[in-house]
Amino acid sequence: MLRNCATNVLVLLASLSVSLGAQETSDQTGSQITGLPAINYDSDEGFGYGVLLEAYFYGEGGYSPYRFTIQPTLKFTTKGRRELTVFFDAPHLLSNGWRVDGFLRSERLIASPYYGLGNNSIYDQTLEETEGQYYYRFGRSRTKVSMNLQRPLEGSPVRILFGGGVTRTSVEPLPENATRTLLSTEFPENAPGGWSNYLRAGVVWDTRDRETGPHRGTWSEFLVQAVPTFLGSQSQYLRWTLADRRYFPLGDRLTFANRFLLQNIEGSAPFYDLSIVQTSFKQEEGLGGAKTLRGIPKNRYIGKGMFLWNAELRWRAHDFTMAGGAFHIVLSGFIDNGRVWKDDLQIGELVSDLTTAYGGGVRLGLGENFVVAVDVGHSDEAAAPIYIGLGYLY
C-alpha cells in the first residue's frame, strides 16, 4: 500500500515535469531540460511556490554524471521566504580535469529561526504565546556569490578543491513589528550584520558509482574556510569541516547510506554564520531541518562546534516508464543524530547528549539526476514535520 500511495503522489509531480520539460536523452547523451512549479512544503518554512528549472547537458560523448548543469530557482513560502538561486556545475566543461561550480543566492526571510547558542538552548512554546509568534525568530536578508574549482589527482580518486565567495547579511532583531524576541534581548542595541567573505581549500575522496543516489562507494572531504577581515569581512574566523559519507550495497536494490560530519569554528564568527554547514557541493544549514536533522526544527541548535550522524536505508522499489521518460521510486527509513557546542568541539563528548530524530521518505527519479523527495521526521520536539524538495540528503 505504501508503494502504491507513494507512486500515485509522486507520479503526479513527475507528470508536471514531463509536460513542462523537454528531453533529448539516450544513454546519457544530448540534453535533459526539466521544469517544475516549485510547489513544495517544509514544516519549518510553510508551503512553497514558484518555479524551478534543471537543465542537464551530457554532450555526444555521454559525460557522467553530466557535462554541465544549470539550475535556477525562484521560490516564495507562506512563512515569509523569498529566494532566487542559480546553481551551475560543470564536471567536464574545462580542460585538464578541472571541475567548476558557481552559486548565486538572494534571499529574504522575515522569520528566520533563532533559539540561542549551544546544545542546552531552551525552546519554550509558551513564550510564543505570551511574547508573540516571532519570539524565536528574526528577519534576515542575505546575498551570496561563490565559486569552487576541483581537480582530480591523476590515477587516484582524490580531488583538490579551491574556492571563494562573498556574502552580505542584514539582520532585523524585531521582524514583522514584533515588540520582543530572544535575539533582541541578547542584542538590545543592534544585532550584527555585514560581509562574510572567504577563501577555502580542501581535499575530496570520491569513489561513488554515481553522484545522485549512490549504491556503493565513499565520498569524504576535509575543507578549511578562512574568513579574514582583510577581505572586508565583518568578523574574522576559520571553519574546518570533516565529512565522511559511505554507501554499502545490501543487494541489487538495497543501499545503506551513512554520514558522519564534524565541524568547528575558531575565531569570532557572528551568530548567523554558525548555522552554515560547509560541503564541497551545495551549502547546507543546520543543526535541525530538512538537510541535517529531519524531525527537529530548522537551526534548532547552533554553536561553534557541530557533530552530525545520519544513517539511512534506501530501497529502489520500482522502475517504470511514463510519457517516454524512465522513472524510479526509492523508499527509505532514517535515523538522524547530532549535537553542537557553544564554543569548541569536544571529541570526548561526541556521543553524549545527542539529539535524535527518525522517520522515512520516498523519492521519485526522472532519469538518475532529477529526483523529487518527500521526507517525514519525528522527534521529541516535533510530531511529524514534512519536507518536500529535490534530491538526497547526502
Mean pLDDT over 91-114 rounds to 94
Instruction: Output DSSP code: residue 290.
Output: T
Written as nine digits, the cell of 123 is 525552546
**pLDDT value at 339 more than 80:** yes
Residue 249 contacts by C-beta under 8 Å, 6 or more apart in sequence?
A: 215, 216, 255
Question: According to the model, what pLDDT value does residue 50 have?
Answer: 87
d(C-alpha 6, C-alpha 14), whole Å: 12
Q: At 383, list the grid cell.
A: 510530531
> What Cα–Cα distance (Å) separates residue 2 from each residue in 5, 131, 328?
5, 42, 15
Q: If pLDDT is split at 50, 70 and 90, which confidence band does 8 have?
A: very low
Q: List Cβ<8 Å contacts ≥24 apart for 382-385.
A: 382/43, 382/295, 382/296, 382/297, 384/359, 385/42, 385/43, 385/44, 385/294, 385/295, 385/297
Output the CA torsion sign for 344, 349, 355, 359.
positive
Position with higher pLDDT, 1 vs 75:
75
Omega prior to 287 cis, within 30 of 0: yes
Task: Say if CB 306 and CB 340 are below 8 A apart.
Answer: yes
Per residue, what are the HEC states of 200-254? Answer: EEEEEEECCCCCCCCCCEEEEEEEEEEECHHHCCCCCEEEEEEEEEEEEECCCCE
Q: What is the rounded distance in angstroms from the CA atom of residue 48 to the CA atom of residue 313?
A: 28
Cell numbers given for 354: 545527542
Which residues share a beta bridge with 46?
42
pLDDT reported for residue 27: 55
385 Cβ contact partners less than 8 Å away, ≥ 6 residues apart: 42, 43, 44, 294, 295, 297, 376, 377
By three-state DSSP, how is residue 273 classified?
A: helix
Residue 324, pLDDT score: 81
CA pair distance 17, 26, nearest whole angstrom: 18
Q: How many CB atoms lie within 10 A of CB 321?
A: 8
pLDDT class for 28, splitting at 50, 70, 90? low
| pLDDT value of residue 15 | 43
Backbone angles phi, psi at 98, to 5 degrees: -75, 135
User: Is pLDDT larger for residue 221 or for residue 59?
Assistant: 221
Confidence of residue 106 (pLDDT cuts 50, 70, 90): very high
Scanning the chain, the segments in alpha helix (DSSP H) are 2-20, 125-130, 182-186
Q: What is the pLDDT of residues 258-290, one digit of tens each?
A: 999 999 999 999 999 999 999 999 888 989 999
Instruction: Give pLDDT tens digits for 117-162.
Output: 999 999 999 999 999 999 999 999 999 999 999 999 988 999 999 9
Q: Give dist(CA 107, CA 151) in Å, integer.
A: 31
pLDDT single digits (tens) 65-74: 999 999 999 9
